[in-house]
Amino acid sequence: MSGILFEGTAIPGLVVIRPQVSRDARGTFAKTFVAAEFAAQGLATTFIEEYHTASMRGSVRGMHFQLPPHDHDKTVFCTSGAAFDVVLDLRVGSPTFGVAQTFELSGPCGQGLYIPTGCAHGFCALSDDTVMTYSVTTLYSPDSDAGVLWSSAPVKWPCVDPIVSERDGLFPALADFQSPFTFNARTF
């Protein structure tokens, strides 16, 4: 076993991934994915693409997702710096529909998130050079790329005047979003 711990959250299917982090004089080492351990938890094991973002303190990215049929599960880790991470449940019929959960992710802590399809994801960089790594289960589809307005998520963001892309600033508010996602209780 690699020592990865999986911890459920209030949002069904959203899982905190806690790898064992080894530290020595050089820094840290953590194994963040073992297919057999993910499969044993009922999590996807086939990731198709991986992304890295580097963001400056006070930047907000989100709240992003892909629409069906290109929707995907994803893992998210902060490999450097620190991030205030937000996951918003958009699955109609979910007991937590419209609910957001927040987490602080950082390079030193090593923990990440497994985010199920139908949940939007975003974050605020808490330090300069915050690096996030995402692995997703479907190919990026520009026509399916979507989001909801970050400021409409029901959370208190840790920034007053964030740096936000024009695209992210034009997403519809959560109250105006007609979700195509449905909750399937059998999978969680």
pLDDT digits (tens, 9 = 90+) for 47-102: 999 999 999 999 999 999 999 999 999 999 999 999 999 999 999 999 999 999 99
Is 27 a member of any domain? no
In the predicted model, what is the mean pLDDT of residues 6-34?
93
Residue from 72, 114, 121, 134 carrying the catalytic annotation: 134
pLDDT score, position 109: 83
Q: Which residues contact 35 (CB under 8 A, 6 or more apart)?
A: 45
List the domain range (segments joined by +) for residue 121. 47-182
Tell me, yes or no, whether 9 lies in a domain. Answer: no
Residue 58 domain-assigned?
yes
Q: Establish whether 64 is a catalytic residue.
A: yes
The predicted pLDDT at position 21 comes to 87
Average of per-residue pLDDT values in the chain: 95
**Looking at residue 22, what is its pLDDT?**
86
Q: Quote the pLDDT of residue 1.
A: 42
Residues in the chain: 188
Q: Is 121 a catalytic residue?
A: no
Does 37 have pLDDT greater than 90?
yes
Report pTM: 0.94
Is residue 7 assigned to a domain?
A: no
Residue 80, domain CATH = 2.60.120.10
The pLDDT score that the predictor gives to residue 28 is 83
148-176 burial: b if 16+ Cβ within 10 Å, else e: bbbbbbebebeeeebebeeebeebeebee
Residue 144 has pLDDT above 60, yes or no: yes
**Lookup: tokens for 39:** 């499969």
User: Does 97 map to a domain?
Assistant: yes
The least confident of 6-10, 46-50, 103-107, 182-186 is 182-186
Per-residue pLDDT at 30 exceeds 90: no
Q: How many domains does the chain contain in total? A: 1
Indicate whether 39 belongs to any domain: no
Give me the pLDDT at residue 179, please: 98
* Paired tokens of 26: 């050089």
pLDDT on residue 2:
62
pLDDT at 173 over 70: yes
Question: What pLDDT does 135 receive?
Answer: 98
- Residue 24 domain flag: no
**Is 53 among the domain residues?**
yes
**Catalytically annotated residue among 51, 52, 64, 72:** 64
